Chains A and B, each alone.
Chain A
Amino acid sequence: MEENLMEENLDVDFRKQSNAKEIWRRFKKNRSAMIGLVLFVFMFAACFIAPLFVPYTSVTRQDTKNKFAPPSVAHIAGTDNFGRDEMARILYGGRMTMSIGFIAAAISLLVGGSLGMMASFYDKADNLIMRFIDILASIPPILMALAIVSAMGTNLRNVVIAISISRMPAFCRVVRAAVMGIVDQEYIEAARAGGTGDFRILTKHVLPNCLGTIIVQTTMNMSLLMLAAASLSFIGMGVQPPAPEWGSMLSEAREYMRSAPSLMILPGLGIVLVTTQLNLIGDGLRDAFDPRLKT
């Protein structure tokens, strides 16, 4: 009797609960990941909601009489070397840096990841793809990004393309290694014995097994990509002034490092915080995605 009752109650919603909800439940238990997530959501929201409160004009409006002003009610973080509001520039700069990081990570993951999957799944493609990736990887990422940007012209789109290509080898190799470990497993053979086709095996059986690796790789690389974007801007090949970007702000503030250190500290801190948060989240997600670590 009791058993029957239990069955009826549990039967309906069992599946839904065991996927997204379960992952979230396990993620919540990880304190450092949660701290990372909360801080990240806060910074992300601050940067992306900013346009509602701070007009873009305050980012570019110069007030030469009011250079290097200390923090005040009008300028919460003071002003920079052109008398522009530093807080507004930090917020808009964060928007720029983070969007570049996300979009570039998505492109790298999609292109590099699918190349890596194909390489590990189809023997014949393996050599072709991996040697191509080796060529890409033999050029230092920043140098390659620089070369691409200078060849294609300095604008936002090209910066994103350049840094995605420069990070692609990392994605490709990690995904390939992860898939290779899974493809030889007996449950893949079992799936094939059940009549499952290549595409379905890749997407349904292999991919979820490497999801942890891929997610960690993506979040970690996202921070690297943000750094790459910032470095490009720092040397003047990235986002062009007057548009704010954390890297270019750092670069501009370098001259006033001694007189107005806050101009360097704030965007630097932004980069450090966001990359740390992303790494913490990535770690937490990896643990949460692995049902074997279920507690």
Chain B
Amino acid sequence: MIAKETTKEATKEQMLEVKDLFVEYQTDLETIKAVNGVSFSLAKGETLGLVGETGAGKTTTALALMRLLPERTGKIKQGDILINGSSVLKSSDKELMRLRGETIAMIFQDPMTSLNPVLTIGDQISESISLHNSQGRTAEQIQLRVDEVLNMVGIPSARKGEYPHQFSGGMRQRVVIAIAMACEPDLLIADEPTTALDVTIQAQVLMMIRNLRDRLGMSLIMITHDLGIVAQTCDNVAVMYAGELVEVGSARDIFKAAHHHPYTDGLFGSIPKLRERVKRLKPISGLMPDPTRLPTGCYFSPRCPLCADICRERKPDVFAKDGHKIKCHLRINADGYIKDEVRS
């Protein structure tokens, strides 16, 4: 009883809830199962790291949150997405336009291509402000806000009349962030915001995103395949593989807990460590399964070093201990991990 009460209270504060989401890309030739039953939630001010290798469905999940999947092919087959308690899937086009930019903003992966080359950066920032002008700002006030946002990301406001090609990669990513921040969204989705940048700029940009998040009290979804970034920024982590969340937990759980999903172990095995002397890194052998023909049973089974017979036959259940959830058959007998009825 008591446990149920607390979970109810916890769900109240959630600004984002994704329930059992399935996304497919359908073409005439094939059906690509990009997201297969993803559920997670995010509280206000919290940061979730979405980790996984290329093609795991991280970006697809993010796009689905904003209903930005390609119209012709991308289909949400099942599940629901609740933002501040209301379903995104049932929203009208008008509500969606308000949602995008005002409630959720997104930082795209490549700052080289996500800015319009023929509009000045000032124009591109002021556009999102004037589109979501609930405070009734005048044109002058909008320009003041543009200056403010630019200063916030560390670009002199005098440069707002310049075009994207006049900026370096790191500066452009700042502009992209400025556009996303302009309307002070409740949720910021950062889709590999530092992949296209070099390491020193990466650190700056990450620090900036963190500072802005703390200052504005936003929730943040950090999509990345870099576990270092996760350690630096995230409260909670979801590890994604072949469109499924294989392990969810606090950053502490993911980095320090005794039990993991074999895939998470594999991820950690393939990054170099400063303190240990290792001759060779251990990569995860093999490739991600073809999303048009996913294996029966556990999707990770073809690559799993611990794979047992049951893994090839039956889909694994979720086992949880204090919010640390692992989707793997081999956790059945692990200490304290009990079957999570809600999810399985």
Contact = CB atoms under 8 A, between A and B. Distances in A.
B114 A187 contact: yes
Given A195-B131, A196-B97, A294-B165, 20 more contacts: A3-B156, A14-B158, A14-B161, A15-B161, A18-B162, A186-B113, A187-B115, A189-B114, A190-B176, A192-B100, A193-B68, A194-B180, A196-B127, A196-B128, A204-B127, A205-B116, A205-B119, A209-B118, A290-B118, A291-B117
A193 to B, nearest CB: 5
A292 interface: yes
The list of the 8 closest CB pairs from A to B, nearest first, reads A14-B161, A195-B101, A195-B100, A194-B101, A186-B113, A10-B158, A194-B128, A187-B116
Contacts of B158: 6-7, 10-11, 14
Interface size class on chain B is 35 or more
Contacts of A188: 116
Interface string A245-268: 000000000000000000000000
Most A CB within 10 A of own CB, among B106, B118, B127: B118
Given A186-B113, A208-B118, A18 B176 contact: no
B279 interface: no
Interface in B131-153: 131-132, 147
Given A15-B120, A196-B127, A190 B114 contact: yes
Interface of A: 3, 6-7, 10-11, 14-15, 17-18, 123, 185-197, 200, 204-205, 208-209, 211, 290-292, 294
Interface of B: 66, 68, 71-72, 96-102, 105-106, 108, 110, 113-120, 122-123, 127-128, 131-132, 147, 156-158, 160-163, 165, 176, 179-180
A194 B131 contact: yes
A67 B29 CA distance: 76
Given A3-B156, A194-B127, A185 B132 contact: no
A189 B176 CA distance: 13
A1 to B, nearest CB: 14
B127 A192 contact: no
Given A7-B156, A14-B160, A196-B131, A292 B99 contact: no
Contacts of B97: 195-197
Nearest to B131: A195
B17 to A, nearest CB: 20
Contacts of B161: 10, 14-15, 17-18
A291 B100 contact: no
